[in-house]
Chains A and B, each alone.
Chain A
Amino acid sequence: MEKTPRYWGVFVSMSAYSILVTSSPYDQAGSASAVRFCQHLLEEGHTLSQVFFYQQGIYNAFSTMAPPNDERNRFEEWKALHDACGTPLRVCITAGEKRGLVLSTDANQPELAHPFEQTGLGEFFTALHDSHRLVQF
């Protein structure tokens, strides 16, 4: 069965985008594509309303990830994106907790670190009302 693309976006001038990330940071190429797409959106003058991490996408929020020195740190890339434009980085609380991502001060636990926020599908869908486009990676 031929795999169809997972995103159906067209660039429209000055649009507000919501981004849905369901790809894990290193096992799939989607999260790298998502970061690049968001960067280009901002360069083109669009609004990045939110990034919502769902399913394996929540692994992008692990502050404890430690890739080799010659590979990109996806957590740091998302953090840099947030620092550049203030876009909320929302992590699905159910998907996160199921996979062990917790709000914890225990250094041995993967911790949800700023600027990622632990939220639910409700916040995502509420914000989606104000977005022109939703793109999934």
Chain B
Amino acid sequence: MANLLIRLTSTPYGTSDAADGLDFAIGATNYGHHVTLLFEGNGLWQLIHQSPPDKGVKNHSKRLKSLTFFDIDACYYSEQDRLSLGITQDKLSPVVSKAEQGDITSLINNSDHVVTF
């Protein structure tokens, strides 16, 4: 079993990175790996409440809420990036916990592999 750190750095619907990143994360836990998610940069916009997307587009907010059913419970956001983007903490999804820069360094050091979407 490997510990994977998956960095999500893209907006929820601007590219396919957010959706593909979640597919990748869920695939990893389905096949016996441990996953930690880290939302950085524009990835923090995935954590804000959004209107439902158009038909035919997967609802990213709903998918984030269901991560625990796939044994993905270790979810963090970069506090530094939250401050840079001017997002207040109360706007963020409750599935994530704060990570300071030192915490992020620890997450990376404690991971076997790091992947970015």
Contact = CB atoms under 8 A, between A and B. Distances in A.
Contacts of A124: 27
B115 A125 contact: no
B116 A128 contact: no
Contact of B30 (A6, A22, A122): A122
A55 B20 contact: yes
A53 to B, nearest CB: 12
B23 interface: yes
Contacts of A20: 115
A125 B116 contact: no
Contact of B31 (A4, A8, A54, A125): A125
Interface residues of A, number: 22
B33 interface: yes
A129 B32 CA distance: 9
B41 A1 contact: yes
B42 interface: yes
B87 interface: no
A46 interface: no
B20 A121 contact: no
Contacts of A54: 20, 24
A136 interface: yes
Interface of B: 1-2, 4, 7, 16-17, 20, 23-24, 27-28, 30-33, 41-42, 81, 84, 108, 112-117
